[in-house]
Amino acid sequence: MRLEGRTVLITGAARGIGRACATRFAAEGADLVLLDIGHDLPGVGYPLGSADQLKQTGALCERAGAAVLTVLADVRDTAAVGSAVDTALERFGTLDVLVNNAGIAAPSGKAVHEVTEDEWALMLDIDLSGAWRMIAAVAPEMLRERRGSIVNVASTAGTVGYRHFAGYVAAKHGLIGLTRAAALDYAPFGVRVNAVCPGSVRDDPHLDGRMLSEIARSLDVPVGEHEQIFLRDQPMNALLEAADVAGAALWLAGDDSRQVTGTVTAVDGGFGAR
């Protein structure tokens, strides 16, 4: 049990990679604060995680023996984020790990100059500023305890460009910058900050996963063939499972990586090797 007695807050935990992280961490002995928005957003052209989906993640974790607190909050809302963290501290007394996983892949699919002001702002507000808001709310607690690990779920889009994905690419590049800067700010206090960069993750129906198909839709890649097409970029010749990302996040969250901070871990089936 690598996270025995640790309390972990995961954003975007209703489904997908967030849910995979939550259940894996629960199996490793962690107690969990599961956060998600719980409703759709007008500018995002696909459904976001629902309150039911979040409850479902919670139930899976409890079954694995974890104490669970679920919180509905939008990572764009400073006050909501703050009160979510306060509630978590009331319940658990401390927070040891933060996984910044909440994110959106659309609105995308346009060349840079075609992106509207609102689309650009929305993308950065969630994918980059959301992580910053969470860190700002959680870090004081970690600094007080002089320990903690923050894992930011970025993307291969945080290290290379993708056509017609400027907002997402910019936000994920920004998230890696934030990771490195925060790592330096907090290293003297024993708090670590690292990023994970997943490649293409298979939409797992058990996790209600759907991001890959949304990315495909944005890129005008025919959904149905998109898995084959995305596969070509990953030399391991397989799409990733969300559990692969959870495994990396687990390592970064736990003490096995106690001297690791400010790093970027690619989980991309070899995408970055070429």
Ligand X SMILES: NC(=O)c1ccc[n+]([C@@H]2O[C@H](COP(=O)([O-])OP(=O)(O)OC[C@H]3O[C@@H](n4cnc5c(N)ncnc54)[C@H](O)[C@@H]3O)[C@@H](O)[C@H]2O)c1
What's CA 138's distance to the chain center, in Å? 15
x-or-dash string of contact with ligand X, 109-148, rule CB under 6 A: -----------------x---x------------------
* CA–CA distances in Å: residue 117 to residues 40, 43, 107, 125: 20, 12, 12, 12
Q: Give me the residues paired with residue 38 across strands.
A: 50
What DSSP line would sit under 153-191, residue for residue? E--GGGTS--TTBHHHHHHHHHHHHHHHHHHHHHGGGTE
Task: Show the binding pattern over residues 178-217: x = contacts ligand X (CB under 6 A), - = does not.
Answer: --------------------x-xx-------xxxx-----
> Rounded to whole angstroms, how far apart are CA atoms 26 and 20?
10
Residues pairing with 150 in the sheet: 98, 193
CB closer to other proteins, 92 vs 230: 92
Active-site annotation, residues: 168
Mark residues 76-115: x for contact with ligand X by CB under 6 A, - for none: x------------------------xxxx-----------
Q: Using CB under 6 A, which of the segments 25-33, 70-78, 91-99, 113-121 binds ligand X?
A: 70-78
When asked if residue 218 is in the footprint of ligand X (CB under 6 A), the reply is no
DSSP 223-241: TTTHHHHHHTT-TTSSPBP
Stretch that binds ligand X, among 8-16, 135-143, 159-167, 251-259 (CB under 6 A): 8-16
Q: Minimum distance between the CB of residue 104 and ligand X, rounded to whole angstroms?
A: 5
The verdict on 3 binding ligand X (CB under 6 A) reads no
Contacts by 81-86, CB closer than 8 A, 24 or more apart: 81/133, 81/134, 81/137, 82/137, 84/33, 84/35, 84/137, 85/9, 85/137, 85/138, 85/141
CB atoms under 10 Å from CB of 189, counted, come to: 15
Minimum distance between the CB of residue 7 and other proteins, rounded to whole angstroms?
Answer: 9
Would strands 7-11 and 31-36 be described as parallel, antiparallel, or unpaired?
Answer: parallel
Binding site for other proteins (CB under 8 A): 62, 65, 67, 69, 86, 89-94, 141, 144
Confirm or reject binding of residue 153 to ligand X (CB under 6 A).
Answer: yes
Nearest residue (CB) to other proteins, 159 versus 261:
261
Smaller CB distance to other proteins: residue 6 or 173?
A: 6
Q: Minimum CB separation from other proteins for residue 269, in Å?
A: 36
Sign of CA dihedral 150, 156, 160, 161: negative
What residues line the site for ligand X (CB under 6 A)?
11-12, 14-18, 36-37, 48-49, 74-76, 101-104, 126, 130, 153, 155, 198, 200-201, 209-212
